[in-house]
Amino acid sequence: MTSYILRRLVAMVPVILLVTIVTFGLMRVLPGDPAVAMIGLEADPSLRQLVRQEMGLDKPLYLQYTDWLGRSLHGDFGIAYRTRSPVGPMILSRLPVTLELGVLGMLIAACISLPVGILSAIRPNSKLDIFGTVFAVTGVAVPNFWLGLLMILLFAQILGWLPPFGYVPLLNNFGENLRSMVLPAAALGMAEAAVLTRMTRSSLVEVLRQEYVTAARSKGLAERAVILRHALKNSLIPVVTILGLQISRLIGGAVILETVFALPGIGRLAVDSILYREFMVVQGVVLLMALAVVFSNLFIDILYGYLDPRIRYS
Amino acid sequence: MKEGDNYWEKMLRRTYSRRELVRTSAKVGAVLAGTSLLGCGGTNTPQPSAGAATKTVSSTAPTRGGTITLHQAGNFSGLEAVTGTGGSDQQFLWTVFDNLVAYDKDMKPTAERSLSESWENPDPLTYIFHLRKGIKFHDGTAFNAAAVKANFEYAVDPNVKSNVRADLTAVKTVEVVDENTAKFVLSSPHAPLITILGDRTGMMSSPDAIKKWGKDYIRNPVGTGAFTFVEQVLDDHVTVKRNPNYWQKDHPYVDEVTWKIIPDGDVAMTGLKTGQLNLMWAIPGKEVAEIKSSNKLKFMEREGVWVDMIYLNSMRPPFNNRNVRRALAYAIDRATIAKEILYGTATAAGSSLGPGNWEFDPNAKGLQYDPAKAKEELTAGGTPNGFKFDMRVMNSPIWVQVAQAIKAQAAKVGIEIDLKVLPAPDYYMGFISNAEGSSFLASFSGRADPWQTLAFIFGKDGTYGKAGTQYLDTKLNGLIDKARETYDPQERKRLYNEADKLALDEAYGVFLWYPRTLVAMDPRVRLDVFGDGKPHLGQGDVWIGK
């Protein structure tokens, strides 16, 4: 197992490097003058050359990249040009917001999808199953930002139960933090829940048809034990695969929801930075996301080994 | 209990074992605990109480205390005056900085609000400012003539990314006459300087702080203002708090001002309605009717200096042809768009100068909707059957609607518009940096002095002159330069209006309408809306009553 993990880690390096090179290239290829993007519509045009110099844009491309690479290997990811904030600490300070949003979203998704999926699988074609299907199709079809706006309207404006925007850090006030995260996490989780429900249902239905399930039942095991202790674990493998893929979807969903709910997270940072040509920030954020995707894939693969003893890594 | 009953059947018959009972109670308890979190309220902004329903504001004396919470769609471009570039930074800057000469709500320079007690023009090339005595910056250092000189040198330093350099090109040097007297020596007469000093150019920073922070000063502003800078959390909020040693006695009235960064205008509006915000600037037009009729919120509006316009590239076809430009200007029914799409919150424009400037000429007609004249111009211009051009526009719903309305109106006279919808900054970036495209549709935020507006849009050193998209009209530039050197206010006003009339006649840009400044707030908040359309929250400009 250890050698497997080591080999995977080594294989990561060229992947990450390639991602950074492609990002670098794409940002440079974007049309328009980054200096104009930086200083905006109302600023004095004489600033442009100075800005370009300060951003290092007058240097040859390969030098710009190797400069960045060299410095980032030492932990210096440059500065966000407009605000002069160092990129590394900036990203780190915003990471918890997106992480919390993602984790809460996943939790909400799991809390909805597992019970609904299981119940649908046990009573196929019942009213519950049909409700589950409708819910799943709606959840996939509805854009999560629209759902988010509706929730703000209902829970914040009409009912007044929750705040419409804003983020309170977890360590400042646990209760307020949860209140500020409930709506965006729910909006994010609904779409995921829909997908996971379907996956859980179909996977469990498949497993329940297996011979070992019949064998367990005929041995006299309580139905609850059959489902929860035996069938479910095995049906989770495809669900776990989907979960791994959902991580990238979650990042995407976070971008829109962070903007709608005014959460200072990584997704919003990424979009703003691309629009305003903050090269350093974009490089840093994409690097982080690439690492997140690569490591989560590795984690999911290791999880398989735990879930299914037939899978062994050498 | 029958043999072979499965778990679900048992549940339905509600026969629980003790273990099951304990487990279920634990789950129920957890749910109840979660629900109780919904109950814990505790926002720390004042809720508009049901009692405070009256909209008629009684003229009581200003009261101390409270927090103003408003929103901004994006981060401030910078927290200091010289190197920041955004048009909406001033609301922050005026809390932390004071101006050498400041203007009042009608855009007239007034000593009462200024760091100068008085000023004079002994000759066209000299300004002398008599500074107030005993004022200190937030870091304890003294504000004096040496500080004014240091600020000027910072603003024109070639190594500084200075956004106010163009405003100071006429100033040769600043001399320290004595501790409290500063002399500006000009290389050419510059009459608008006094009004210009009311914006970024005249904001005084602590020279010590500039030296200490260097390039990072943009994040660590130190001024003489009514509030001191507390913190900025990017994409979340910016906070300033009351300066107890402010040189204006009893000012400011409120304890704190916080800007929450909320990209979505509808979400911010919800925040105003639920009490998270107690002030909202530039509310969407569609909300005006509801706010006006609500007794929980107060609505204020005023004509400002913003002008929505179509910027044209007058250096190449099709718009290098005067008749073609004029045809487009005649083809647009401004009043209808202002009424139907902008909910009546804008007034059809006949000038590049908004009504908020005191030099504004209410009789300026410009080129108003006249399809017959549009067709005449098309014929005179050699394109009797119309022509085609591309127009870029920002990807917000309102702008897209406006652009589509313009497109439909232009089509009626044979002008075909190819719309390109892009996010900011892309929709203007290509035009400005590479002279891409024929035109783009946007708001111009206006300026304290009309000279700045005219020079910025039409002048040879303005953004569009430099970008190579603005035809350099010698007569127009001559008028702009002459106005700059004319100290007599009435004569200068006449020259501004003459230059403006020429620019509109030549249709160097298509000026559409003046969006009014629209503000909504908790009824207890008291403030004046200034002619420049920007929030003034410093000095004694805002307070919260009962």
Contact partners, residue B208, CB within 8 Å, separation at least 6: B137, B139, B141, B222
Q: Which of B239, B303, B302, B237 is nearest to B271 (CA)?
A: B237
pLDDT tens digits along A113-146: 888 888 888 888 888 888 888 888 888 888 888 9
Question: Position B2: which residue type?
Answer: K
The DSSP 8-state label assigned to residue A156 in this structure reads: I
CB contact under 8 A, B426 and A32: yes
Here the tokens at position B286 are: 């569609």
Give how far A116 is from chain B: nearest CA, Å.
Answer: 14
Q: What is the CA radius of gyration of chain B?
A: 28
pLDDT of A277 over the 60 cut: yes
Give CA–CA dist B65/B545, Å, rounded.
9
pTM attached to this predicted model: 0.85
CB contact under 8 A, A36 and B423: no
Contact partners, residue B216, CB within 8 Å, separation at least 6: A84
Of B43, B87, B218, which has the smallest distance from its Cβ to A163's Cβ? B43
pLDDT tens digits along A3-56: 888 988 999 999 999 999 999 999 988 887 888 888 877 777 778 888 888 888
DSSP states of B253-274 as a string?
-SSEEEEEE-S-HHHHHHHHHH
Contacts of B453 in chain A (CB under 8 A): none
* Residue that is written with structure tokens 């390096």 in the block: A13
CB contact under 8 A, B218 and A275: no
Which chain B residue lies closest to A34 (C-alpha atoms)? B429
Q: Is residue A213 within 8 Å of A154, Cβ to Cβ?
A: no
Give the number of A-B residue pairs with CB atoms closer than 8 Å: 161
Give how far B5 is from chain A: nearest CA, Å.
Answer: 8
Q: At what angle do helices A232-260 and A174-208 cross, to 10 degrees?
A: 140
Q: How many residues does chain B have?
A: 546
What backbone torsions phi and psi does residue B150 show, to the nearest 5 degrees? -60, -40
Here the tokens at position B348 are: 């059809």
CB contact under 8 A, B235 and A268: yes
Q: Which of A42, A81, A266 to mutate to test the interface with B (most CBs of B within 10 A)?
A: A42
Give how far A131 is from chain B: nearest CA, Å.
Answer: 19
Contacts of A33 in chain B (CB under 8 A): 429, 432-434
Query: What pLDDT was estimated at residue B31?
Result: 54
Burial of B516 (0-12, 13-18, 19+ CB in 10 A): buried
Give how far A180 is from chain B: nearest CA, Å.
Answer: 10
Which strand ranges, in their side-by-side order, compose the sheet holding B439-444? B346-348, B509-515, B307-312, B439-444, B388-394, B416-422
Contacts of B86 in chain A (CB under 8 A): 40, 42
Here the tokens at position B383 are: 């394109």
Q: Is residue B161 within 8 Å of B147, Cβ to Cβ?
A: no
CB contact under 8 A, B429 and A36: yes
Give CA–CA dist A106/A120, Å, rounded.
20
Burial of B29 (0-12, 13-18, 19+ CB in 10 A): exposed
Go through B172-194 and write b for each residue having 16 or more CB atoms within 10 A of its CB, e for each that does not: eebebeeebbbbbebeebbbbbb
CB contact under 8 A, A272 and B37: no
Q: Which of A81, A150, A165, A172 to mutate to test the interface with B (most CBs of B within 10 A)?
A: A165
Here the tokens at position A207 are: 């497993």
Give how far B410 is from chain A: nearest CA, Å.
Answer: 26
Which chain B residue lies closest to A90 (C-alpha atoms)? B234
Of A51, A83, A164, which has the smallest distance from its Cβ to B270's Cβ? A164
Question: Position B14: which residue type?
Answer: R
Contacts of B442 in chain A (CB under 8 A): 41
Here the tokens at position B282 are: 């530039």
> What value of ipTM does the predicted structure carry?
0.83
CB contact under 8 A, B262 and A165: yes
Contact partners, residue B27, CB within 8 Å, separation at least 6: none
Here the tokens at position B51 are: 């009692």
CB contact under 8 A, B260 and A165: yes
Cα-based angle B423, B427, B428 (whole degrees, multiple of 5): 135
CB contact under 8 A, B162 and A44: yes
Q: Which of B335, B234, B237, B343 is nearest to B283 (CA)?
A: B343
Give CA–CA dist B228/B226, Å, rounded.
7
Contacts of A82 in chain B (CB under 8 A): 75, 77-78
Q: Which of B264, B393, B426 to mutate to test the interface with A (most CBs of A within 10 A)?
A: B264
pLDDT tens digits along A45-54: 778 888 888 8
Contacts of B462 in chain A (CB under 8 A): 45
Which stretches of B283-434 are assigned E, i.e. beta strand? Answer: 298-302, 307-312, 346-348, 388-394, 416-422
Cα-based angle A68, A73, A79 (whole degrees, multiple of 5): 45
HSE toward the beta carbon, residue B168, CA cutoff 13 A: 24
Question: Position B340: which residue type?
Answer: E
Q: Which of A123, A124, A121 is nearest to A113 (CA)?
A: A121
Contacts of B90 in chain A (CB under 8 A): none
CB contact under 8 A, A85 and B219: yes
Give how far A207 is from chain B: nearest CA, Å.
Answer: 18
In order along its 546 residues, chain B shows pLDDT tens digits of 444 455 555 555 554 455 665 565 556 555 555 544 443 433 333 333 333 333 444 456 889 999 999 999 989 989 999 998 888 899 999 999 999 999 999 999 999 999 999 999 999 999 999 999 999 999 999 999 999 999 999 999 988 989 898 889 899 999 999 999 999 999 999 999 999 999 999 999 999 999 999 989 999 999 999 999 999 999 999 999 999 999 999 999 999 999 999 988 889 999 999 999 999 999 999 999 999 999 999 999 999 999 999 999 999 999 999 999 999 999 999 999 999 999 999 999 999 999 998 899 999 999 999 999 999 999 999 999 999 999 999 998 999 999 999 999 999 999 999 999 998 888 998 898 889 999 999 999 899 899 999 999 999 888 899 889 999 999 999 999 999 999 999 999 999 999 999 999 999 999 999 999 999 999 999 999 999 999 999 999 999 998
Q: What is the CA radius of gyration of chain A?
A: 24
* Residue that is written with structure tokens 């399809």 in the block: B371
Here the tokens at position B217 are: 């000063």
Q: Which of B3, B10, B201, B433 to mutate to test the interface with A (most CBs of A within 10 A)?
A: B433
Contacts of B77 in chain A (CB under 8 A): 39-40, 82
CB contact under 8 A, A48 and B433: yes
Contacts of B233 in chain A (CB under 8 A): 264
Give CA–CA dist B445/B345, Å, rounded.
16
Go through B454-485 and write b for each residue having 16 or more CB atoms within 10 A of its CB, e for each that does not: bbbbbbbebbbbbbebbbebeebbebbbebbb
Q: Which of B270, B272, B273 to mutate to test the interface with A (most CBs of A within 10 A)?
A: B270
Of A54, A156, A268, which has the smallest distance from its Cβ to B270's Cβ? A156
Contacts of A43 in chain B (CB under 8 A): 85, 163, 463
Give how far A298 is from chain B: nearest CA, Å.
Answer: 32
Give CA–CA dist B481/B217, Å, rounded.
34
Give how far B426 is from chain A: nearest CA, Å.
Answer: 7
What backbone torsions phi and psi does residue B316 show, to the nearest 5 degrees? -150, 165
CB contact under 8 A, B263 and A262: yes
Give CA–CA dist A112/A196, Å, rounded.
9
CB contact under 8 A, B429 and A44: no
Q: Which residue has better confidence, A253 or B52?
A: A253
Which chain A residue lies closest to B467 (C-alpha atoms)? A45
